[in-house]
Amino acid sequence: FYKVLQNTLVAKDLQQATRIAYGKQRWRVVTLEGQLFDLVGTMSGGGNRVIRGGMSSKFVSDVTPEMISKLERERFDLENKWKEFNEKRKAYESRLQQLKQELPLMEVNLSKLEMDSSSCAKRITDTQKLISELRQQNKPNVEDRKRMQQLKGQIDKLNLELTNLKNQSSKIEGEIGILHEKILQVGGDKLRAQKMKVDSIKEQIDMTNDHITKAQVAKSKAEKDVTKFENSIAKNEGEIEQLNQEMQDLEGSIRQNTELSRSIEIRDLEEKKEALDEMKAERDSKATIINNTRAIQLEIKNKLENNERSLLENRHKEKHLVNSLKKLALHEISDDERQPEFPTYTDDELKSIDEESLKNEIEVLNEKIQSASPNLNVLAEYKRCEEEYLSRARDLEEVTRMRDECKKEYDDLRKLRLEEFMHGFTLISQKLKEMYQMITLGGNAELECCDSLDPFSEGIIFSVMPPKKSWKNISNLSGGEKTLSSLALVFALHHFKPTPLYVMDEIDAALDFRNVSIVANYIKERTKNAQFIVISLRNNMFELADRLVGIYKTNNMVYNPVDTITI
């Protein structure tokens, strides 16, 4: 059955079959009358006989124009309904896709809302504590009574000013009536002048009305303040005795706690002082070692330069002496050789010897002796140079040994510096990742060295991956993402080596409500070993502060109140 029919849809008529068969997706469609639309686009008729020669009058259709118009209207309505249905279907599909994409975000938001809920619960507890503290602080004192007297005096003064302003207003209205009468009698330039006066008087009236309104508002406010202070005094007088008793009990417990905390603080201070002295001594010893090493290194360098110069001079002298020694001729003298006997000549032999030839031989021999006579001073100079060379060689060996020791100590210090740096760098990088994941609920951040072999040469790269985004350099982030990344790094550095004081200027300007709450709660709860001075305009930031200093603008002037608010 399936082999014959396959996936075939059945349509009511030809129009519906055409729309379904040639839509976005091709279908094999057959009508109730037998017309078939195949997937390849061919269309075949039903089982009726094919009519040929339709020009005959007997094949005239029975369809009327009214039926055609009616069918066209129905077709138009159906097409409109089909379009609306398609639009709704597409809208539902897009909405379904959007909801699928938003599902992870909604899960993250759920965790965020849970954090916000815990934060709100904490804020409620803090607010209740604040209310109790404010109730204790709202005790009537001499200043409040003086303030009430001042407010009553201001009310009387404002009432007097109000009466004067009303009198001035009635007087001005009388002048206006007189001016109106004059206007009716006089025309031309006088009329224009009077109109100008009327306008100025109207402006004065408006200003007077404004003053009256402000005075009335101030009066009502002062009356409300008086009522409020009276109610507060009446309410607080009943609590004074109870608070006095509680204050006495608290003073006793405070004295005990003060003595205990003082002893603890003294002990902690002594321990910290001892640790600080040890650190200072260690620092001084290391500084002394470094200075001594530098001095020894400089001394060795100078000695090496002097030795190199001396060695060069000795080499020149040695070369000169060698050249001088090469000119000397060595003669072997045998101790066993007998001394030649002095010859004895006869008279005949003496007569046969030529005296001139003997003199010439003597002169030649003298010249040979003079030319062959050695310079014995060269041997003494050579011995002296050899002793100096050996002495310089010993100095060179000593300096080389000292240089090797200093180089070894220098290498050890560099290795120690690298190990301590990498240890701190690893801790800061791990804490940075934790802090950024905590702040962003799903992000990631890393610190890495540009040159892993020598991290002090090229610096450090700070890479960040915000939630549902790719890795980026911090310079390519938006304002809010840069703020969160920088705060995560600051908190990581604070965890590694706390700093006693931080000043932050509107760090929450580019953050949303949730991130501001997370940062504010972290500053309040996790960094109690430091003081944060934060300039902020976000209420969910400064409401968690221990102390507030307000700066506000009134009458185009900036005021800084002297008193601060302790929360």
For residue 40, the model assigns a pLDDT of: 62
Taking the mean position of all CA atoms in its chain, how far away is CA 32? 73
Of 70-74, 279-283, 513-517, 555-559, the poorest mean pLDDT is in 555-559
* Cα 100 from Cα 375, distance rounded (Å): 109
For residue 9, the model assigns a pLDDT of: 82
For residue 59, the model assigns a pLDDT of: 41
> Average pLDDT for residues 197-209, to the nearest whole number?
75
- Contact at 8 Å (CB) between 433 and 446? yes
Whether 371 has a pLDDT exceeding 70, the answer reads no
Number of H helices, E strands in the chain: 12, 13
* Cα 317 from Cα 389, distance rounded (Å): 11
Summarised one tens digit per residue, pLDDT across range 324-360 is: 666 555 444 444 444 555 566 666 666 676 677 777 7
Highest mean pLDDT among 79-93, 170-184, 359-373: 79-93
Residue 531 has φ and ψ, to the nearest 5°, of -110, 130
Percent of the chain, pLDDT > 70? 64
Residue 446 has φ and ψ, to the nearest 5°, of -145, 145
Half-sphere exposure of 537 (CA within 13 A, CB side): 5
Q: How much helix, strand and coil, in percent to the nearest 5, is found in the chain?
A: 70, 10, 20
Percent of the chain, pLDDT > 90? 1
For residue 51, the model assigns a pLDDT of: 47
- Confidence label for 558 from pLDDT (cuts 50, 70 and 90): low
For residue 193, the model assigns a pLDDT of: 67
Measuring CA to CA, which residue among 516, 517, 521, 498 is closest to residue 506?
516
User: HEC profile for 472-514?
Assistant: EEHHHCCHHHHHHHHHHHHHHHHHHCCCCEEEEECCCCCCCHH
- Confidence label for 278 from pLDDT (cuts 50, 70 and 90): confident
H or E element at residue 523 = helix 513-526
Higher pLDDT, residue 62 or 503: 503
Summarised one tens digit per residue, pLDDT across range 312-324 is: 777 777 677 667 6
For residue 57, the model assigns a pLDDT of: 45
Summarised one tens digit per residue, pLDDT across range 125-156 is: 666 676 666 666 665 566 666 777 777 777 77
Whether 21 has a pLDDT exceeding 50, the answer reads yes
Written as six digits, the tokens of 514 are 């949730």
> Average pLDDT for residues 97-115, to the nearest whole number?
71
Summarised one tens digit per residue, pLDDT across range 444-502 is: 888 888 887 788 888 888 888 888 888 888 888 888 888 888 988 998 998 888 888 98
Beta bridge partners of residue 531, listed in sequence order = 501
> Average pLDDT for residues 51-63, to the nearest whole number?
47
Higher pLDDT, residue 429 or 337: 429
Whether 215 has a pLDDT exceeding 60, the answer reads yes
Half-sphere exposure of 119 (CA within 13 A, CB side): 23
- Confidence label for 50 from pLDDT (cuts 50, 70 and 90): very low
Which pTM does this prediction carry?
0.35
- Contact at 8 Å (CB) between 523 and 532? yes
Of 186-190, 197-201, 419-423, 506-510, the poorest mean pLDDT is in 186-190
- Contact at 8 Å (CB) between 134 and 126? no
For residue 483, the model assigns a pLDDT of: 86
